[in-house]
Structure 1
Amino acid sequence: MSGNRIDVVMSTYNCAKFLPETIQSILSQTLQDFRLIIVDDGSSDESHEILESFAHTDNRITIITQKNSGIVSAVNAGLALCTAPYIARHDADDISDPDRFEKELAWLEANPDCVAVSSLPRTIDERGAPASKAIRAKDLSLVRDDSYPANEPYIMQPMLMMRRDALEKAGGYRKLPVAEDADLYWRLRKFGSLHVLPEELGAYRMHAGSISSSSIIRGRQLAVWSQISALSAQRRRKGLPDIEFTDALSGRMNAAGSLADMYLILAEQCSSDEKNWLALAISAKLLETCYYRDYEPDRQDIRFIRETISRNLPVYHSSECVVFREAVLSASIRLLITGHPVDAFMLTEVRRWPVMAGRAAFRGILSDRVRGWIKSCLPRKLIYGHK
């Protein structure tokens, strides 16, 4: 049985080129009272040799090797060995600053009502150079499981530290191929608060092989799974039977390529009211995801979104969907600027075409400095088309 204060759980799959730097960042922590459990999820590169070389020189490292089964299976295999009161998560391609563990543990020990803490990360590219995308902390006081999309209780998983007893009470990670972290956070909230330290304590690597940034298909999956986990939270809040996340459900969802097909599979488990919420929520979430990633909705996605909006016009035009409407307009402007005018005009309501065209021209013609000056001078309604 481990006598350490922290067990660090890391899963890896074909990340050999990042492993030495990642592992060294963990071993170089100012707080040294930890055990590092690394699960090799069936890597076919040089990962095994690298892991064995580190384990040979540091007895705090435990290596588990398994057949490739996905991140949830790998992480749960590592968690099964944890005995320390605190568990830190780590991805195989990210980097922790030397004081990350010390500062996160200090917060948890000083705040017994908090069950999970994370920090802000810097973003880096595949070579380790600073990336242009900044990650900001979400306002956890605004969390809602029934907004459009759900406002998730999200904290950065690569920088996560949590209490083991709370994780066990929450049921650990469930079988979601993506958004498994958000699903866990919804359940952890029952046992205490979540917190984000307002400082950067590590680096989050964004690259082509990253699970969260690979393609529009992944974007659809993220949109759908994140919102079904929020629907699961709604059911628990209402005392209704929870949604079951099974291998069979994951298999069907993975085989479904379109947003419409994914929705129809999940709708089999939903009531009429849940179906309407889910269709609107996954539409809104896909557009939100596209804003942060290097892909845009295709013609089939746009058709599903427009049909969903048409069936739910009173809700879409209500105050509940202000963020959703802005996401529609923003995506339409990006499509117009990047040479997809048909998709842009399909996605946006006819009455907002002038606003879309004006804002597209505003972005395309003027420099960032001039646009910023104009925004500071004009009323918000003239720029964005709403209060």
Structure 2
Amino acid sequence: MNKDPVVSIIMPMRNAEVYVAEAVDSILCQSFQDVELIIIDDQSTDQSREIVENILHNDHRIKLINGNAQGISAAKNKGVKLASGRFVMFCDADDLLAKDCIERQLSWLALHPDVGAVCAQFALMDSYGGNIVNLDSGKCSCDITEELLSGQTRTSLCTFIIKRELVDVIGGFREFFVSAEDIDFQFRLAEVCKIFYMSENVYFYRLNDSSIVHTQPSKKRIFFEETARLFRQQRALKGIDDLQSGHPPLVPEDQGDAINSKDQLQGALIGSAWRLHKQGEKLKAIKSGFRACLINPANLMAWKSYIMLFIK
């Protein structure tokens, strides 16, 4: 009789034909092999499904299920419902897990049984998997439970390994959130368990203009992020938020331009350049600044920042 896997990895997928094979490979090639990968095909119209079907014939750890195109929260909830592992992780269909990250995080959890979830750093990369930028999300490992309870996030939910039963305790993802469902999830998770942060990179987040972050109008994206934090404040004060009480706020109409992935990556590289400069690594700072300029050479502010790196 087949035993249940230790870790279930949930991967929502919609039109990710260019990236999904690499994303799947980054999971199946981990040093820790006792996993199941649950891919929710949320009604893709490209070749994504066919690509996954070709892979799963050679690996029994993959489960491919149909989504209902009801949003990212609904897709994740469907995956969680089918998860049989003692721990749950999430990975987007265009991103990558870092080498051996599952083994590293499980080893830490084994030594700290009182902790409900462990998260870590992540890095940004461009659509081709290059121009990798390590984000400054904290150089010291620490308990971040109180930080989350105060309405602050420092990393992506895709860096978390979570005890399976805790996902059920908080009721999974709330489908009100078209985006920022991961922020709302982190806050509610911190209300039921201790969460620890490891200062190691475990995830590579791909910036491309087809992702929901880069297709959703900025006004709506900001609304959901602010609402997740507002709900956390309400629960801290009253024990219940407006969504739980049946009075959710009105979602704004689609207005404003979506954030451009190149602009986001360029900004991250400029920020990295100035952090390196502050640390006294001027040559690395100049290289990072020049890489930033090449992302979008028409942005004069990037060139101005690059020149300032030379002068200061």
What TM-score comes out, normalization by structure 1 length?
0.62
Tell me if the contact between 1:116 and 1:162 (Cα under 8 Å) persists in the aligned partners.
yes
Deviation at 1:123, TM superposition (A): 2.0
Residues 100-115 of structure 1 aligned to structure 2 (within 5 Å): 100-115=101-116
The RMSD of aligned alpha carbons is: 3.4
- The residue that corresponds to 1:220 in the other structure is 219
Tell me if the contact between 1:12 and 1:39 (Cα under 8 Å) persists in the aligned partners.
yes
Residues 369-380 of structure 1 aligned to structure 2 (within 5 Å): 369-370=310-311, 373=312
- The residue that corresponds to 2:80 in the other structure is 79
Change (3 A) 1:2 1:156: farther
Tell me if the contact between 1:213 and 1:293 (Cα under 8 Å) persists in the aligned partners.
no
Look up the equivalent residue of 1:100 and give its one-letter code. Answer: C
Deviation at 1:230, TM superposition (A): 1.7
> Given the alignment, which residue of 253, 267, 273 partners 1:255?
253
Q: Structure 1, residues 259-294: CA drift from partner, whole Å, max 9, x if none?
A: 9xxxxxxxxxxxxxxxxxxxxxxxxxxxxxxx9578
Distance in 1 between residues matched to 2:238 and 2:246, nearest whole Å:
25
> Given the alignment, which residue of 134, 143, 147 partners 1:143?
147
Greater fraction of residues in helix:
1
SS in 1 for 2:94: coil
Moved over 4 A (4+): 245-250, 291-295, 363-366
Instruction: Name the % identity.
Output: 24
Distance in 2 between residues matched to 1:86 and 1:198, nearest whole Å:
20
Change (3 A) 1:73 1:107: same
Deviation at 1:161, TM superposition (A): 1.2
Distance in 1 between residues matched to 2:32 and 2:201, nearest whole Å:
17
Distance in 2 between residues matched to 1:293 and 1:253, nearest whole Å:
28
- The residue that corresponds to 2:40 in the other structure is 39
Change (3 A) 1:368 1:29: same
SS in 2 for 1:91: coil
Q: Structure 1, residues 316-373: CA drift from partner, whole Å, max 9, x if none?
A: xxxxxxxxxxxxxxxxxxxxxx79xxxxxxxxxxxxxxxxxxxx9xx57953121xx3
Tell me if the contact between 2:220 and 2:253 (Cα under 8 Å) persists in the aligned partners.
no
Distance in 1 between residues matched to 2:305 and 2:35, nearest whole Å:
52
Deviation at 1:86, TM superposition (A): 0.4
Distance in 2 between residues matched to 1:64 and 1:239, nearest whole Å:
39
- The residue that corresponds to 1:173 in the other structure is 173
Distance in 2 between residues matched to 1:256 and 1:95, nearest whole Å:
30
Higher relative contact order (CA 8 A, sep 6+): 2
Deviation at 1:29, TM superposition (A): 0.7
- The residue that corresponds to 1:65 in the other structure is 66
- The residue that corresponds to 1:235 in the other structure is 234
Deviation at 1:235, TM superposition (A): 1.9
Tell me if the contact between 2:68 and 2:75 (Cα under 8 Å) persists in the aligned partners.
no
> Given the alignment, which residue of 364, 367, 386 partners 2:308?
367
Residues 250-329 of structure 1 aligned to structure 2 (within 5 Å): 253=251, 255-257=253-255
Gaps of 5+ in 1: 260-290, 296-337, 340-359, 374-387
Tell me if the contact between 1:41 and 1:66 (Cα under 8 Å) persists in the aligned partners.
yes
Change (3 A) 1:145 1:118: closer
Change (3 A) 1:143 1:45: same
Tell me if the contact between 1:96 and 1:203 (Cα under 8 Å) persists in the aligned partners.
yes
Distance in 2 between residues matched to 1:25 and 1:60, nearest whole Å:
14
SS in 2 for 1:203: strand
The answer to whether 1:161 aligns with 2:165 is: no
Q: Structure 1, residues 193-238: CA drift from partner, whole Å, max 9, x if none?
A: 22232122232111111222346x2x32232212222221122222
Change (3 A) 1:143 1:222: farther
The answer to whether 1:130 aligns with 2:131 is: yes
Tell me if the contact between 2:231 and 2:241 (Cα under 8 Å) persists in the aligned partners.
yes
- The residue that corresponds to 1:21 in the other structure is 22
Distance in 1 between residues matched to 2:181 and 2:78, nearest whole Å:
15
Distance in 2 between residues matched to 1:205 and 1:236, nearest whole Å:
33
The answer to whether 1:186 aligns with 2:187 is: yes
The answer to whether 1:195 aligns with 2:136 is: no
- The residue that corresponds to 2:152 in the other structure is 152
How many residue pairs get matched? 272
Deviation at 1:178, TM superposition (A): 1.0
- The residue that corresponds to 1:244 in the other structure is 243
SS in 1 for 2:82: coil
Tell me if the contact between 1:122 and 1:130 (Cα under 8 Å) persists in the aligned partners.
no
Deviation at 1:98, TM superposition (A): 2.9
Tell me if the contact between 2:125 and 2:265 (Cα under 8 Å) persists in the aligned partners.
no
Please identify the structure whose Cα radius of gyration is greater. Answer: 1
What TM-score comes out, normalization by structure 2 length?
0.76
Deviation at 1:91, TM superposition (A): 0.7
SS in 2 for 1:10: strand
- The residue that corresponds to 1:52 in the other structure is 53
